[in-house]
Chain A
Amino acid sequence: MSAPLLEVSGLSKSFGNIHAVSGIDLQVNKGEVLGLIGPNGSGKSTLFNCILGQLRPDSGEVRFKGEAVTGLNPTALNRKGIGRTFQLLQVFPSLSVRDNLIVAGQEHRSTLVGRLFLPPDAGQTERCNELLDLFNLTRLAEEPAGALSYGQQKLLDIAMAFTASPELVLLDEPAGGVNPTMLGGVEKLLRRLNEEMGATFVVIEHNMSFVMGLSHRVTVLAQGQTLATGSPEEIRANPAVIEAYLGD
């Protein structure tokens, strides 16, 4: 059996006396969608930030494709093939939608000095057009990202994470703040990216129907520790999860 794409072992992070994450173990296999759920303050975002180099873990190890990447900065991790979105919208508002996508992919082309001599689109036009089409943003391509509606910016935010064709994408609440009409579209889009293009995701989400419908496996965190891991059906039926998070 091949090694997991992402392997987290014994990861811990404290802020003073608060143990945000304590000894978390996690595995994500290629082509898998792993849902990460838990009540507010359970350590989901801290875990993401430790994996993605925004925070340095106190202990534990993160391996990507078998290589230790613990403590690498976000830029280096992105260049190794890990994309992400944040809990809050993070687009570049004064840049056009197209430029947001180009900047999300251009740094994977050439060297720092070499990029000065690349064409203005950094050879990304074809990839951008694919994503604009896939995310239904083509007619807005030349608009400033800041002029888009919240839902459209959310789509752009997710599209940006995919521009460089990463092998693993960590999505922090992709359904957060998205209206119910658009929500189905986001779910369908992510499923398509997973099933047709083989994208691997870890998804933090509070919307249960969304995350349960999308994920192959779900890990539940509570008070910084793993409460349960299993298929969506197993998680729904787990008494400890029901008591700590899902309720009746």
Chain B
Amino acid sequence: MLRWIIIAVVAAILIFVPTQLKPYGIFLISNWVIFCVVAMGLNLTIGYAGQISLAQAGFMGIGAYTSAILMTRFGMDFWHTLPAAAGLSFLLGVIVGYPALRVQHHYLAFVTLGFNILVYLVFRNEDWLTGGAFGIFDIPRPSVFGYATNDPLAFYYLCLAFFVVMFSLAWWIVRSPWGRAFAALRENPIRAASLGVDIRAYTLLAFATGSTFAGLAGAFYASLLEFIDPYPFSFEYSLSFLLMVISGGSGTLVGPMIGAALVLLMPEWLRFAKDYYLMIYAVFVMVLMAFCPSGVVGIWERLTMFMRHKRMTAAAAAAEEQSK
């Protein structure tokens, strides 16, 4: 029951609060919704399947540039660019997943980091295709059943609908046998293989699904900004996405959303502290990670466990009192 109340309240906030926001606020919340999808994808790769990846921003960039190039150079409609953005991200996700079949942990982190740097260099240096450091301008926003989404609020609702679809997809994957196989891969790949779990296929799938989420989100990101340059797809942003997953609570569906809010929105909320806002933010992240490595969701879980324990202790004491 409590879960449904929370869902209803969050849905009401996401639907009605933006109507009261100024354009910058709507831009921020649209950005948050898109970054949630990127972080959800990374969470499938890291949190559920246990495969470290530092290339999520690169995959987002691949989706963003694919969509932007197809729209601005070839005049394609936004919706027709989505399969290309998803397909290319999926394919490159499979390719980046191959090293994970040989190396793990920090070695794998460096392989994926190398991929992100490579992708960034292509975006920056291949002017003929990507516009180089100047990027791509005048990226159009899509129409939905003939209605333009040029208005910030209209585009926000489109992003929200996209988020709902992707969240449902992540939920579907996690509760399906794939989700359980991902967890088995994360916890004990040798045992998983001995039970018939094709760890090779699931490792590649973990990367490919995670990168597809990022690629699709990238296409929306390009339309949100109506301009892209290489910087948001650099390694630095991949670290931010990793922080979103870890600080929110990896291996949980809502964790990446909370993490995305912390990483994207919290610095904005702290602007009242002027020059100190980034320092306060940095200290907050350090304290959170030091005292609650399972993220904000971990705090909630600890709290509910504490409350349950307290209730059970009180019930046991009452029963003892009654029996006297």
Q: B187 an interface residue at 8 Å Cβ cutoff?
A: yes
In the bound complex, residues from chain A placing their C-beta under 8 Å from that of B184 are 92, 95, 103
Contact bitstring B106-138, A, C-beta under 8 A = 1, else 0: 000000000000000000000000000000000
Q: B322 an interface residue at 8 Å Cβ cutoff?
A: no
Min Cβ gap A63→B in Å is: 20
Are B181 and A107 within 8 A (Cβ)? yes
In the bound complex, residues from chain A placing their C-beta under 8 Å from that of B205 are 112
Q: A116-B177, A122-B177 are in contact. Are A95 and B194 (CB under 8 A)?
A: no
CB contact between B192 and one of A52, A99, A103, A109 (< 8 Å): that residue = A103
Q: A90 an interface residue at 8 Å Cβ cutoff?
A: yes
- Chain B interface SS verdict (over half): helix
Are A103 and B180 within 8 A (Cβ)? yes
In the bound complex, residues from chain B placing their C-beta under 8 Å from that of A103 are 177, 180-181, 183-184, 192, 195, 197
Contact bitstring B154-184, A, C-beta under 8 A = 1, else 0: 0000000000000000001101111011011
In the bound complex, residues from chain A placing their C-beta under 8 Å from that of B194 are 52, 74-75, 78, 83-84, 86, 90
In the bound complex, residues from chain A placing their C-beta under 8 Å from that of B315 are none
CB contact between B173 and one of A91, A93, A116 (< 8 Å): that residue = A116
Closest Cβ neighbor of B178 among chain A residues: A116
In the bound complex, residues from chain B placing their C-beta under 8 Å from that of A118 are 176-177
Q: A90-B188, A92-B183, A102-B180 are in contact. Are A112 and B196 (CB under 8 A)?
A: no
Q: A106 an interface residue at 8 Å Cβ cutoff?
A: yes
Are A90 and B193 within 8 A (Cβ)? no
Q: A188 an interface residue at 8 Å Cβ cutoff?
A: no
Closest Cβ neighbor of A95 among chain B residues: B183
Are A107 and B187 within 8 A (Cβ)? no
Complex-state Cα separation, A78 to B187, whole angstroms: 19
Most buried by B among A92, A112, A115, A163: A92
In the bound complex, residues from chain B placing their C-beta under 8 Å from that of A20 are none
Q: A164 an interface residue at 8 Å Cβ cutoff?
A: yes
In the bound complex, residues from chain B placing their C-beta under 8 Å from that of A95 are 180, 183-184, 187
In the bound complex, residues from chain A placing their C-beta under 8 Å from that of B176 are 115-118, 120
| Band of interface residues on A | 20 to 34
Q: A192 an interface residue at 8 Å Cβ cutoff?
A: no
Min Cβ gap A173→B in Å is: 15
Complex-state Cα separation, A239 to B233, whole angstroms: 73
Are B193 and A99 within 8 A (Cβ)? no
Q: B198 an interface residue at 8 Å Cβ cutoff?
A: yes
Closest Cβ neighbor of B193 among chain A residues: A74
Complex-state Cα separation, A116 to B182, whole angstroms: 12
Q: A125 an interface residue at 8 Å Cβ cutoff?
A: no
In the bound complex, residues from chain B placing their C-beta under 8 Å from that of A163 are 195
Complex-state Cα separation, A163 to B177, whole angstroms: 15
In the bound complex, residues from chain B placing their C-beta under 8 Å from that of A94 are 183, 187
Are B196 and A79 within 8 A (Cβ)? yes
Name 6 interchain pairs, CB-CB below 8 A, sorted by A: A75-B193, A84-B194, A90-B194, A102-B180, A116-B176, A164-B196
Which residues of B pack against A, CB within 8 Å?
A: 172-173, 175-178, 180-181, 183-184, 187-188, 190-201, 205
Which residues of A pack against B, CB within 8 Å?
A: 52, 54, 73-75, 78-79, 83-84, 86, 90-95, 99, 102-104, 106-109, 112, 115-118, 120, 122, 160, 163-164
Known contacts A106-B180, A116-B176; 6 further A-B pairs (Cβ under 8 A): A75-B200, A92-B183, A99-B180, A106-B181, A115-B177, A163-B195
